[in-house]
Structure 1
Amino acid sequence: MFDHTQRFIFDDTDVRGEIATLEESYQHVLAKHPYPEPVAQLLGELMAAAALLIGTLKFDGLLILQARSSGAVPLLMVECSSLREIRAIARYDAERIAADADLARLMPDGVLAMTIDPLKGQRYQGIVPLDGVDLGACLSSYFANSEQLPTRVWLRADGRRAAGLLLQQLPPDRIHDAEERSASWQHVTTLADTLSAEEMLGLDAETRLHRLYHEEQVRLFEPHPIEFRCSCSRERSANALISLGREDAEQLLLEQGGSLSVDCQFCNQSQVFDAADIAQLFSGGGSQAPSDTRH
């Protein structure tokens, strides 16, 4: 089980953490689109961020991270459900991407939006500028600006693996003195800053924590698996066609030569509908094709 998140907590101070490690799910996403290396790296980092955050949020529903800009990468998007099913996509202009381009060059004037879409209750969205040195710094700024518990995020990806580390200061319990709390928080975050990309991507969670905090009392909890899964389906594609209305759907069918293909941007799969399928949809017969199903 390589793709997972793991929670940990410091026994002697009011700090908790989360580690995310992705490989198979990351490779599933990269296999769907030929992303240039800098784009693949950014998308992997955002996937690791979503995996970290889904482990800290207590809700049933969907977490959506979207980074948008006016640059060579106008969109990065990751969706991760409370069931820890993840999918991701990027939009980019290949001619404008240099091999050594960083976040500032790829996504100038960008913003990062975090949307929490619960199955029950109200949808929530927070937005922060993409003005940090990397996506981890931008997410850290998001938490700082939202007046939540002090939180730091570190993200890395190399086109093969993606990894993330999150530290969060908890309300006073073990330490109540403000200066001591500040010093403790500074200590654990300063040590985390020393973790190299190679160590984040190459070491398991237990080894990473020992490398950083071998003088601290740290408890590492059981891992929770993360997997790639796309939520597209024939039924959803059919609902999209129904939303067009019968007249527009039939006109589109005529323009497309008698066969409509509804493509999923995330996984590149297609659902194909012919005249018999369209007639069945609008007569209330459902989305299962009377002719051969093509997927």
Structure 2
Amino acid sequence: MSDFSQRFLFDDSDVRGELVALDASYRHVLAKHAYPEPVAQLLGEMLAAAALLVGTLKFDGLLVLQARSAGAVPLLMVECSSERELRGIARYHAEQIAAGSGLHELMPDGTLTMTVEPARGQRYQGIVPLEGSNLADCLSSYFATSEQLPTRFWLNADGQRARGLLLQQLPADRLQDSEARAANWEHVVTLAGTLSTEELLGLDNETLLHRLYHEEALRLFEPRALQFRCSCSRDRSARALISLGQADVEQLLAEHGGEVVIDCQFCNQRYAFDAADVAQLFAGAGVQPPSDTRH
């Protein structure tokens, strides 16, 4: 299993953790676009973050992380479903990107938005400034300013692999004393802060946790698979056309040589509809396979 998250739990304190490893899914996202190295790294970190966050939520639906700025990278967007399917995209101005650029150079004065879209129930959204030295610090600040449990992130990506570590303080159970809880939380966070980029990217989970917490009693649970999958489809593209109205779609057909093409920004899949397709669509015949009139 090359793409997975794995939960761990400290037996003697109220802290849980999660580790995520993305290889194939990360490379699949990068294969769709020729991202400069700094953009690819930042996108990998956001993919790892979304996978970690899904592990903290109990819901059926979609988690969306979106960062926006007026800088060299105006948009980073990652989605992770409760089925643990990932996709992501970045928009960038190549001429403004220098090798080794970090978050502040790429996305100055940006904002980070986390949206939870449950299959049933109310949509939730939170927005914070992109402050901090990196994306992990920004996400940690997001949780610090919300009513969520204290949560810290460590994220790295190198264009081939994306890795993440999350620590989260749980409600008081094993440690009831507030000072003891605070001291324990500071202890586990400080140890995690000694982890190097090379260690996070290169060590397997058992070795990594032993390196950090060999004096602690903890349980490592079974890994859970993650994978790249785009949610685009011909059916969804057809519904988008229907929402425009028949007159507007027919106008698009006339302007584009008798064919309307919808491109998925995430996976570059193309969905083409000619006049026969559009006629079937607005006649209520549903979404048909590409018609034989198009070659």
Offset of residue 292 of structure 1: 3.8
For the pair 1:23 / 2:57, whether they are aligned, the reply is: no
Match of 2:77 in 1: 77
Structure 2 unpaired stretches of 5+ = none
| Equivalent-residue separation in structure 2 for 1:193 and 1:235 (angstroms) | 46
- Corresponding letter in the other structure for 1:192: A
Offset of residue 106 of structure 1: 0.5
Offset of residue 289 of structure 1: 3.3
Offset of residue 30 of structure 1: 0.1
- Cα deviation 1:82-127 (Å, max 9, x = unaligned): 0000000000000000001110110001000000000000000011
| Equivalent-residue separation in structure 2 for 1:232 and 1:283 (angstroms) | 23
For the pair 1:145 / 2:148, whether they are aligned, the reply is: no
Match of 2:270 in 1: 270
| Equivalent-residue separation in structure 1 for 2:38 and 2:186 (angstroms) | 31
Q: Within 5 A, what are the aligned runs for 1:1-295?
A: 1-289=1-289, 291-292=291-292
Contact 2:274 2:294 in 1 (8 A): no
Contact 1:62 1:79 in 2 (8 A): yes
| Equivalent-residue separation in structure 2 for 1:154 and 1:293 (angstroms) | 53
| Equivalent-residue separation in structure 1 for 2:83 and 2:284 (angstroms) | 32
- Cα deviation 1:133-191 (Å, max 9, x = unaligned): 00000000000000221111111000000010000111111111111111111110000
Offset of residue 293 of structure 1: 9.6
| Equivalent-residue separation in structure 1 for 2:78 and 2:198 (angstroms) | 24
| Equivalent-residue separation in structure 2 for 1:110 and 1:118 (angstroms) | 26
SS in 2 for 1:45: helix
Structure 1 unpaired stretches of 5+ = none
SS in 2 for 1:239: helix
- Corresponding letter in the other structure for 1:261: V
| Equivalent-residue separation in structure 2 for 1:27 and 1:12 (angstroms) | 38
The percent of aligned pairs where both chains have the same amino acid is: 72
Q: 60-69 or 180-189: which moved more?
A: 180-189
| Equivalent-residue separation in structure 1 for 2:294 and 2:234 (angstroms) | 10
Segments of 4+ moved more than 3 angstroms? 292-295
Contact 2:111 2:129 in 1 (8 A): yes
| Equivalent-residue separation in structure 1 for 2:292 and 2:279 (angstroms) | 15
Offset of residue 290 of structure 1: 6.2
Change (3 A) 1:222 1:191: same
- Cα deviation 1:39-82 (Å, max 9, x = unaligned): 00000000000000001100000000000001000000000000
Change (3 A) 1:11 1:277: same
| Equivalent-residue separation in structure 1 for 2:248 and 2:21 (angstroms) | 45
- Cα deviation 1:198-256 (Å, max 9, x = unaligned): 11111111111111001111100001100000000000111111111111101101110
- Corresponding letter in the other structure for 2:161: R
Q: TM-score, normalised by structure 2?
A: 0.98
Contact 1:271 1:294 in 2 (8 A): no
| Equivalent-residue separation in structure 2 for 1:220 and 1:140 (angstroms) | 23
Change (3 A) 1:6 1:290: closer
Contact 1:116 1:123 in 2 (8 A): yes
SS in 1 for 2:289: coil
- Corresponding letter in the other structure for 2:44: G
SS in 2 for 1:230: coil
Aligned residues: 295
| Equivalent-residue separation in structure 2 for 1:59 and 1:132 (angstroms) | 29
| Equivalent-residue separation in structure 2 for 1:85 and 1:261 (angstroms) | 25
